[in-house]
Amino acid sequence: MQDARSRGRSFARNCQNPAPGPCLRSGLIASASIVAAAVSTLVACGGSSDNGAAEQAALVAQGKQIFRFDTFGDEAQWTDTLRMHEVISAAVDPTTALSVGLKVDAEALPAAVVQGIQNGSVDLHSPATTVTLLKLDAIVGLKGTIESVGGRDVLTRVGVTCALCHSTVDNSFAPGIGKRLDGWPNRDLNPGAILALSPAFDAATKAQLNAWGPGKFDPRRNVDGLSKPTIIPPAYGLAGVNSVTFTGDGSELAYWNRYVAVTQMGGLGTFTEPRLNLSITNGNVDLVSSKLPALQAYQLSIATPAPPAGSFDPVAAARGQQVFAGAGGCAGCHSGALFTDANSTLHPPADSMAEPESPSYAARSASKRYRTTPLRGVWQHAPYFHDGSAATLEQVVATYNARRSLGLSAQQSADLVQYLKSL
C-alpha cells in the first residue's frame, strides 16, 4: 500500500516534470496563462496529497477500532461453545482477572468508578464489578454484551479482540490498570489458564492449557492437536516487514490476521492454507475479510517504543555495535534498518537457538522454517526466542556465544547486551 509520503513524492515528480504530468494538462485546460496553470498545478497536487493522507488516516483510525473492539463475531466460540460468559459472571472478579494478566483501560473509567476504586467502595472481589467494567469497554481485549434483567446487569455474550494478546497498559493508575499500549505483547496474560476455566474442556485438556504459563499461547494446538506454545509477539514496528510471524508463513500481516481471527479467535469467516491441508470456515457470513486492510494499516502504523531514558549505557552500546557487526556475527541475519533478513530469507530449524525442540514449532508451520526476528524494541519484550527459553538479553548473548562458538569475552558480551537494549 502506498503511504502518504510516497504519494507526496509522486505528486512532486509530476509537478517538477510538467510535460508528461496530468497536473499541468489540467492546469492548461483551466487557464491559458502559464502562471495560472502553475498555480492550478500546485493546488491540485497539494489537494490530492492531502486527500491521500486523509484517506490513510481514516483507514488507520478504522483499524484502531477494529484492533481494540472488533470480535469478528467470535462470540459464537467464546459464548456458545466455551461458555465464558457464565464463567465470568460466576467467578471472575477484577482481582482474579488481573491475576491472569487481563488489563483495564483507565481512560475508559468514569470519574465515579475511579474514585470508587481509590476509596474502596468499588468491590474488586465481585464478578458484578467485572460485568460493569465490560459494560464500559474497559477490559482490554474483551467485549461483552450486557442486558438488564430484573434491574440487574447481566453478561449475555462475550468475545475477544486482537488487543487481548497484543496490548497492555502502562500501569499508571495501578498494576494492570492504566493507559493502553497497543502493539505491546501482553506477557502477563495467561491465555491457557483463562481457557482452562471453560466448562467445555475435559480435565486432560485443562491440564495441558494450564501448563502453558503467562505470556505464551499455542496458535496451532486446535489445528494439529499438539501443544508447544510460543511467546506472544509484539505487534509494533512491523512496517516494511513482510514475514511477520516466527515462521514467516504469509507475505503480509493480513495473512496472519486472518489466520488468528478465524482459527484462534473463532471469528466468522474462512481461512485456507494448502501447505497445511487446512481449510476452516466459521458460520455462514464473513465478518473478517472486509476488515483486514484497515486492521493491517493500523498495526503497521504502530511505532516501536524507544528505550526508556537511562536504561542502557551509551558508551558501552557504541562498543557493542561493533561487536554486533563484527565478532558477534549478528548483522549477517539481523541486517539493515529493520534488523532482519525476513523479507528475503527464511532459515532452517537448525538456525534457531530454541531448536531442537519437541514438537518442533517450525515443523508445525506452513513454511517449516523460521524468520529472523526484528530487533527494534527488543528491550521491551522479554523473554526471548520463540519459546521464551531465554529470560534476558544476557542469556540470549550467552546462548549464541556458546552454540555458535563465537569466543566473545565477558566485556564484549556485556557491551553487546547494552547495544541490544538501545535498539
- pLDDT band of residue 49 (cuts 50, 70, 90) is confident
- Peptide bond before residue 374 is cis, with ω within 30 degrees of 0: no
Checking if the pLDDT of 392 tops 90, the result is yes
Average pLDDT over residues 366-373: 97
Supply the pTM of this predicted model.
Answer: 0.86
C-alpha cell at 84: 465464558
Higher-confidence residue of 337 and 36: namely 337
Indicate left, alpha or beta for 5 from its phi (over 0: left) and psi (-120 to 50: alpha).
alpha
Checking if the pLDDT of 17 tops 70, the result is no
pLDDT digits 0-9 by tens, 141-188:
999 999 999 999 999 999 999 999 999 999 999 999 999 999 999 999
pLDDT at residue 14, as a whole number? 37
Residue percentage of the chain with pLDDT more than 90: 87
- pLDDT band of residue 50 (cuts 50, 70, 90) is confident
Distance (Å, rounded) from C-alpha 299 to C-alpha 236?
Answer: 7
Distance (Å, rounded) from C-alpha 222 to C-alpha 200?
Answer: 14
> 361 and 193 in contact (C-beta within 8 Å)?
no
pLDDT at residue 98, as a whole number? 97
Checking if the pLDDT of 299 tops 80, the result is yes
Checking if the pLDDT of 242 tops 50, the result is yes
> Whole-number mean pLDDT of the chain?
90
Query: What one-character DSSP code corresponds to residue 260?
Result: I
pLDDT at residue 207, as a whole number? 96
Q: Which residue, 157, 179, 175, is CA-closest to 109?
A: 179
> 334 and 375 in contact (C-beta within 8 Å)?
yes
- pLDDT band of residue 23 (cuts 50, 70, 90) is very low
pLDDT digits 0-9 by tens, 194-214:
999 999 999 999 999 999 999
Distance (Å, rounded) from C-alpha 13 to C-alpha 179?
Answer: 42
Average pLDDT over residues 382-386: 97
Angle between helices 84-91 and 127-135 (to 10 degrees): 120
> 374 and 342 in contact (C-beta within 8 Å)?
yes
Using CA atoms, how far residue 238 sits from 68, 325, 394, in Å, is 18, 23, 25
Indicate the range of 2-11, 154-163, 237-246, 365-374 predicted with least confidence. 2-11
Indicate the range of 14-23, 41-50, 317-326, 337-346 predicted with least confidence. 14-23
103: which residues sit within 8 A by CB, 6+ positions away?
139, 140, 141, 167, 168, 169, 176, 177, 178, 186, 188
Indicate the range of 12-21, 255-264, 271-280, 290-299 predicted with least confidence. 12-21
C-alpha cell at 52: 491521500
Identify the bridge partners of residue 168 per DSSP, sorted by sequence position. Answer: 181
pLDDT at residue 48, as a whole number? 67
81: which residues sit within 8 A by CB, 6+ positions away?
200, 266
pLDDT digits 0-9 by tens, 106-119:
999 999 999 999 99
Average pLDDT over residues 413-423: 98
* H/E stretch holding 297: helix 292-301
Checking if the pLDDT of 42 tops 90, the result is no
Angle between helices 22-30 and 34-69 (to 10 degrees): 130
Query: What one-character DSSP code corresponds to residue 356?
Result: S
Residue percentage of the chain with pLDDT more than 70: 89
pLDDT at residue 124, as a whole number? 96
- pLDDT band of residue 47 (cuts 50, 70, 90) is low
